[in-house]
Amino acid sequence: MTHDTQAAEAGHAPASAAWPIRLDGVSVTYPNGTTALRDVSLDIDAGEMVSIVGLSGSGKSTLIRTINGLVPVTAGTVTVGPHTVSGLHGRRLREVRGHVGMIFQGFNLATRVDVYRNTLVGRFARAGRLRTLLGVTSARDREVALTALDTVGMLDKVWSRAAALSGGQQQRVAIARALSQEPSIMLADEPVASLDPPTAHAVMSELERINAERHLTVLVNLHLMDLARQYTRRMIGLRDGELVYDGPAAEATEADFEQIYGRRIRPQDRLGDRT
Amino acid sequence: MSPGTTTEPATRLDLPPRPRTWPRRTLVFSALTAFTVATCLPAIGGIEIDLAAIAQNWRHGAANLSALLQPNWSFVPRTIQPMLETLQMAFVGAAIAAALSVPLTLWAARPTNPNTVTRTAVRAVINVVRAVPDLVWATILVAMVGVGALPGLLTLVLFDVGIVVKLVSEAIDSTDHPYLEAARAGGATQGRMNRALALPQSLPLFSNQWLYALELNVRISAILGIVGAGGIGRLLDERFGFFAYGDVSVIILEILVVVLLIEAASNVLRRRLA
Ligand SMILES: Nc1ncnc2c1ncn2[C@@H]1O[C@H](COP(=O)(O)OP(=O)(O)OP(=O)(O)O)[C@@H](O)[C@H]1O
Ligand SMILES: [Mg+2]
């Protein structure tokens, strides 16, 4: 019902409404005994674009992975939109994951598979039991995937193998794969850490645009302070698995970053200006 | 230049002490030597290597060898039919095994089957299949389904499936599959991501082993006939029984040529598929 009215207001059918994210006293201890998150509580509104910053090993990846259940929480609850992720299994968990897109530092494409079929993976969660069993794609799946590729400017490479693309192009395909899920939340785990500065800015702009145009909730892990300041409005700082900063990104001072990092700012904490 | 400057580097590197490996190496080497010697001692029931017998039989062997060096070319027409049967067994066996190996391999590898119970079960069955020697399989199957090409074919299928599933599933286990994590994060089922991503991604591994299985099949099926499992091997066994070494020689040469041809063809294919 609400979905229909929103669609009417927007003048076109929006893929889906953005979801809020809520972490309540979340702790994660890995099976080997490493505690990666300690009692983290967090409220992110639908449609916000938020960065998570922190040093290597501070728990950024762990935090972002609890949101789609890739990492199970040891304590606390994670809620996305109407669903409580913690405790979900099997079919129900896959359904929730279908609404949460994710982008990775290493792109995570099947390199021997063409761009088209890599992008279609984003449609798998929406297929019914029979389609899943037979492995067939619907006309709508194809249309959504191709539109997503067009959005990120990769339609001309649709029949290339992923291995034949540059890093920046691969990340664009990975974004298209996530977009074709028609997600309510977009997670990005260091999406630009493997890219050169101009490409990094291009990919960050892409995420910014997705947030603005599709009104998606975007949560992005970054370890570079200037990227967090430039592209996100709100910033969350992690140190040793604890939430040590939660506030506006643009106004975050050097002192704030030094507090998050637990050391002085170094040149390698900055990427450099967009060109 | 004084000898001191050549042995003493200008900047001394802080090298950690090198682990001492020679005591272990010496131990392993002497253990292996002792074991080899022990297995040849008749006193403890080891293998008897009777040099005198080898010398005695040599004359006999030399006579047979000279017979083998005179192939009876007129025998060639009679070998065509059994040779075709052998090739048929090899190809059909490799094709059936290739089809069976795909789901079994994906079930036997951890990245494509996170379920420990079913994975262990498939691996256990494959290990049992592989533990039984091919000639034993052939003998059992001949006893079960009778003399002919069928037991030979079944033996080859079992043998190939064992090899392909083991080697390919281990290769899949030992590589990273980040694209599977991405698909899982996007809510895909394991079965669908296996078919859409893991299979095309692992296809070179598969095709390599399928071709290897085909090469092995031609060699093995030449021998399987000896226990009654059809093909050129049965003719070989029969001519050997009649001491018709000229005919045997023709068969051996033919097997050699066919094996080399198949190997050359599969090398070309392998290069194309890579
Ligand atoms: N699968 C795992 N098993 C055990 N320990 C893990 C696992 N993944 C991460 N850890 C540990 O948890 C802690 C947090 O790791 P995490 O990957 O979340 O950090 P991060 O902030 O993303 O670091 P980076 O910037 O290097 O990616 C680290 O101490 C890490 O060693
Ligand atoms: Mg990380």
Each residue's pLDDT tens digit, B122-167? 999 999 999 888 888 888 888 888 887 788 888 889 999 999 999 9
| Confidence category of residue A10, pLDDT binned at 50, 70, 90 | very low
Average pLDDT over residues B196-212: 90
Residue of minimum CA distance from atom 29 in ligand 1: A57
* Ligand 2 ion: nearby residues, β-carbon < 5 Å: A 61
Within 8 A by CB and 6+ apart from B206, the residues are: B98, B101, B102, B105, B164, B168
Average pLDDT over residues A168-186: 90
Instruction: List CB contacts (< 8 A) between A108 and chain B.
Output: 178-179, 181-182
Between helix B149-173 and helix B116-131 the angle, nearest 10°, is 130
Shortest-distance atom of ligand 1 to CA A58: 21
Q: Which of A93, A108, A135 sits opposite B178 (nearest CB)?
A: A108
- Tokens at residue A220, please? 């992005």
In tens, the pLDDT along A206-237 reads 888 888 888 899 999 988 888 888 888 898 98
- Tokens at residue B178, please? 């980040």
Average pLDDT over residues B13-18: 77
Which of B175, B176, B189, B201 should be substituted to probe chain A, the one whose Cβ sees the most A Cβ atoms within 10 Å?
Answer: B189
Domain B73-273 has CATH 3.10.450.50: no
Mutate to test the pocket of ligand 1, among A58, A63, A224 (most ligand atoms within 8 A of CB): A58
Q: What is the pLDDT of residue A187?
A: 94
DSSP secondary-structure letter at A161? B
Q: What is the pLDDT of residue B3?
A: 47
CA distance B200 to chain A (A): 7
CB contact at 8 A, B109 and B166 = no
**Whole-number Cα distances in Å, A273 to A110, A225, A226, A253, A255:** 32, 12, 8, 17, 20
Residue A119 has pLDDT above 90, yes or no: yes
Average pLDDT over residues B10-17: 73
Mutate to test the pocket of ligand 1, among A26, A61, A70 (most ligand atoms within 8 A of CB): A61
Tell me, in angstroms, the distance from the centre of ligand 2 to residue A76's CA.
21
Q: Which of B186, B200, B201 sits opposite A125 (nearest CB)?
A: B186
CB contact at 8 A, B143 and B228 = no
In chain B, positions 204-233, which contact chain A (CB-CB < 8 Å)? 204
Tell me, in angstroms, the distance from the centre of ligand 1 to residue A61's CA.
7
Within 8 A by CB and 6+ apart from A114, the residues are: A158, A159, A160, A161, A162
Which of A83, A108, A165 should be substituted to probe chain B, the one whose Cβ sees the most B Cβ atoms within 10 Å?
Answer: A108
Q: Do A124 and B196 touch (CB under 8 A)?
A: yes
- Tallying the residues shown for chain A, one arrives at 275
CB contact at 8 A, A249 and A228 = yes
Scan for tokens 């039991």, then name that residue. Answer: A129
| Confidence category of residue B44, pLDDT binned at 50, 70, 90 | low
Poorest-pLDDT segment among A32-36, A62-66, A215-219, B55-59: B55-59
Computed from CA positions of residues B91, B92, B95, B100, in that sequence, does the dihedral angle turn out positive or negative?
Answer: negative
Residue A8 has pLDDT above 60, yes or no: no
Instruction: List CB contacts (< 8 A) between B178 and chain A.
Output: 104, 106-108
Shortest-distance atom of ligand 1 to CA A105: 27
| Confidence category of residue A5, pLDDT binned at 50, 70, 90 | very low
Alpha-carbon distance of B207 to B218, in angstroms, equals 17
Average pLDDT over residues B193-218: 89
Instruction: List CB contacts (< 8 A) between A120 and chain B.
Output: 196
- Tallying the residues shown for chain B, one arrives at 274
Q: Is the CB of A230 under 6 A from ligand 1?
A: no
Tell me, in angstroms, the distance from the centre of ligand 1 to residue A238's CA.
12
Residue of minimum CA distance from atom 12 in ligand 1: A36
Q: How many CA atoms lie within 13 A of B192 on its CB side?
A: 27
Shortest-distance atom of ligand 1 to CA A28: 12
Residue A4 has pLDDT above 70, yes or no: no
Q: What is the pLDDT of residue B135?
A: 84
CA distance B102 to chain A (A): 16
Shortest-distance atom of ligand 1 to CA A62: 18
> Distance of alpha carbon A121 from its chain centroid, rounded?
16
Q: Is the CB of A239 under 6 A from ligand 1?
A: no
Alpha helices in chain A (DSSP H): 2-10, 60-67, 90-98, 115-120, 129-134, 139-151, 167-179, 197-214, 225-231, 254-261
**Whole-number Cα distances in Å, B235 to A34, A84, B78, B80:** 67, 71, 9, 11
Please indicate if any CB of chain A lies within 8 Å of the CB of B273.
Answer: no
Q: What is the pLDDT of residue A52?
A: 92
Domain ranges of chain B: 73-273
Residue of minimum CA distance from atom 24 in ligand 1: A56
Q: What is the pLDDT of residue A13?
A: 41
Residue A2 has pLDDT above 60, yes or no: no
CA angle A239, A187, A121 (to 5 degrees): 145
Average pLDDT over residues A93-108: 91
3-state secondary structure of A114: strand
Q: What is the pLDDT of residue A11?
A: 39
Residue of minimum CA distance from atom 22 in ligand 1: A61
Residue B99 has pLDDT above 90, yes or no: yes
Q: Is the CB of A59 under 6 A from ligand 1?
A: yes
Residue A14 has pLDDT above 60, yes or no: no
In tens, the pLDDT along A180-201 reads 999 999 999 988 888 788 888 8
Q: Is the CB of A106 under 6 A from ligand 1?
A: no
Q: Is the CB of A171 under 6 A from ligand 1?
A: no
Choose among B205, B198, B204, B214: nearest CA to B274: B204
Tell me, in angstroms, the distance from the centre of ligand 1 to residue B178's CA.
16
In tens, the pLDDT along A29-42 reads 999 888 889 999 99
| Confidence category of residue B43, pLDDT binned at 50, 70, 90 | low
- Tokens at residue A260, please? 């998050």
Shortest-distance atom of ligand 1 to CA A37: 14
How high is the mean pLDDT of chain B?
A: 84
Domains defined for chain A, CATH in brackets: 16-99+222-249 (3.40.50.300)
Please indicate if any CB of chain A lies within 8 Å of the CB of B44.
Answer: no
CB contact at 8 A, A96 and A83 = yes
Q: Do A181 and B192 touch (CB under 8 A)?
A: no
